[in-house]
Structure 1
């Protein structure tokens, strides 16, 4: 992994594809690894996916050195407010009409496919050295894709809860919609946002007062990793959405004038290397699971649906959301096309079945979600170096 990013730039293929091939090879060589099986390893899939998403959200936030002013977030919020709901509604109807899923399972499928992935999409997001002062950063595809992934990974949770609760309720009849909205949607989101700001503020103040009062300071990159885990854990304990809190915390840290810029770079560098280490483990295990026959017996219709969601549905929803923005056509298309699906989707799906303590219907959902993630890795992995090999022009 230490050399893969450089190799990737040379051969113009994203490095997750190389990790997939590594996983295929390890499985073919019959390396004695316990490959994940959704029927018996939901909790293991959930834990590994959970920790890598937490780490990735901290990485993403530390890339964004831009203020919280509303105008700076207009474009990503369009994707959250328009593209994300449109995608979910479309996938819901696909699940009902083309995949013959029940309403609760279709809702769950739509929810877990809602977030764009901050991990597998790292090559199309902001780099830590992003310092282009000659261009309006609000309109750069890299900024938009980074901030979108950071926000929607937290906002997908209420809808995952909705799908799981509908399954538990055996349908929509007599379902308590008000409780879901007030508790799972409104309260947990607000707690997540507030907790994220507070954790960032506390660390900033702690850095200041420890240094001024006791002469204690740190330049240790480990702070980024420990802060990500602590923020996520504490927020979940107080009934908030931890993913959202981690992203807000990292944004607060990055945009504080009290933290030295060189230290911010070190924090980002450390957490970025942790993310890539965990990515190796996840993608290799994911590849082995595919090789074990998990996707065998797929119909051409299911394959076509998965590819269509990646190359038609998300781009179309994204273009609708970005209509009227002051961006070039190439920028709008690039942002719309690179709605990468990945680790977050499989986390949410495994979380739902752990929460339900029931695997009924899991095989159908795991198959289609795994196929969509696989298609996304291949399609976006091959096309990303082409789109991002140089800065996008306004032509």
Structure 2
């Protein structure tokens, strides 16, 4: 396709999605399904108008997926309606760490015993496919800053955390590919990849988010030298937090999510407890705002930058899902890939959720819906590209590309087509 044709195609697609076509609404098609259909049609599976080679373009795709996940995690964190308190967060924390670990183990067992993969490779594959996705799961995400719906809160906060909690298992699997698993390796992994990287990510995220909230508050309401660029402040926080975590070998995804929560909750606390009543009105209880409510633009960084970042997230979704269609070949659809995808959706996700939430007191209906809506997407693409760039053997890389693409495509289709009917029938 020529450059002009791409401009026309993308322009028409953006206008169509922007107008919220009545046809798409009646068909209950998610944006990801539309983008995927166009990508597959133009890609090597049908017309062959373009082909994106993920093996040769692994660095580029890693960066694109990395940016998309970071922006989505920051948006998810800013929308969290509650500060971190164990009573409200115990369910998503269990899902993000306990259930995710069980998911890695079950998927790795399938890869080792059924697909006959080396144990290290099976662990890497399990870690790639375990995280739920904050980018593509838009229909089951928290919709706005005051949305306290238990299902959407649980799924959004789980996705925000498990994109970081899966990283240790990626590193463990890659280490096992180069050396046999030993007690020393396991101890080093627990100390560095679990304790150090996780704790430092949380510390960096929380501290940076609170510091920015304090700095902006003083600049905006104490010094008052002029309006601030909320978009730049939000993007800058993402960059600083993620960069510091890379320097410290901490999990940047988890840190960015924590920073967004800390920024949002710190701004709310400052606005409600320290602002002079005559100068700055208290921040309203956003739990009573509906989805179309207009935020107090300029009052808080979290609210002021949300619109721009949501647009950036949607654009990232469009680009990456269309590229996904351009990576997919007909021969990617093997029984190994489809079988693993169905095993992941029907067995791994429900079982891991059920075990992870044992004794939590979670209502059965919530468990069932959470156990079904384990959307896989851009996070899995990032981990796959990370493993390839890290040095995953080419033969394994090619097979993992086919498997991961099939899993994501089936997740987009199956979860995308079932989300609205199931939410309307089973969830108030």
Output the TM-score relative to the length of structure 1: 0.89
Q: Which stretch has the larger CA shift, 311-320 or 6-15?
A: 6-15
For 1:325 and 1:191, the matched residues in 2 are separated by: 27
1:85 corresponds in structure 2 to 101
Q: Secondary structure at the match of 2:136?
A: coil
1:155 corresponds in structure 2 to 165
From 253, 266, 271, the counterpart of 2:309: 271
Structure 1 position 236 matched with structure 2 position 246: yes
Q: 1:192 to 1:362 in 2, by over 3 A?
A: same
1:309 corresponds in structure 2 to 344
Aligned pairs (5 A) from 1:99-248: 99-128=115-144, 130-131=146-147, 140-169=150-179, 171-172=180-181, 176-211=185-220, 212-213=222-223, 215-218=225-228, 220-248=230-258
Residue 131 of structure 1, CA deviation: 4.2
Q: Which stretch has the larger CA shift, 72-81 or 174-183?
A: 174-183
State the number of aligned residues: 381
Q: Secondary structure at the match of 1:128?
A: coil
From 262, 274, 288, the counterpart of 2:326: 288
Q: What stretches of structure 2 of length at least 5 have no aligned partner?
A: 1-13, 272-282, 284-294
Contact 1:83 1:317 (8 Å CA) reproduced: yes
Structure 1 position 370 matched with structure 2 position 405: yes
Structure 1 position 4 matched with structure 2 position 20: no
For 1:175 and 1:38, the matched residues in 2 are separated by: 35
Which stretches of structure 1, 4 residues or more, deviate above 4 A after TM superposition? none
Q: What stretches of structure 1 of length at least 5 have no aligned partner?
A: none
Residue 276 of structure 1, CA deviation: 0.5
Q: 1:334 to 1:73 in 2, by over 3 A?
A: same
1:78-123, CA deviations, whole angstroms, 9 ceiling, x for partnerless residues? 2134321221111111011110100110111111122111111121
Residue 3 of structure 1, CA deviation: 4.9
1:143-168, CA deviations, whole angstroms, 9 ceiling, x for partnerless residues? 00000000110111111111111112
Aligned pairs (5 A) from 1:23-62: 23-27=39-43, 28-31=46-49, 33=50, 35-62=51-78
CA RMSD of aligned residues (A): 2.3
Contact 1:168 1:356 (8 Å CA) reproduced: no
Q: Secondary structure at the match of 1:221?
A: helix
Residue 183 of structure 1, CA deviation: 1.5
For 2:227 and 2:244, the matched residues in 1 are separated by: 24
For 1:346 and 1:131, the matched residues in 2 are separated by: 29
For 1:222 and 1:103, the matched residues in 2 are separated by: 44
Residue 282 of structure 1, CA deviation: 0.2
Residue 328 of structure 1, CA deviation: 3.4
Output the TM-score relative to the length of structure 2: 0.83
Structure 1 position 354 matched with structure 2 position 409: no
For 2:316 and 2:117, the matched residues in 1 are separated by: 33
Larger Rg over CA atoms: 2
Residue 325 of structure 1, CA deviation: 3.9
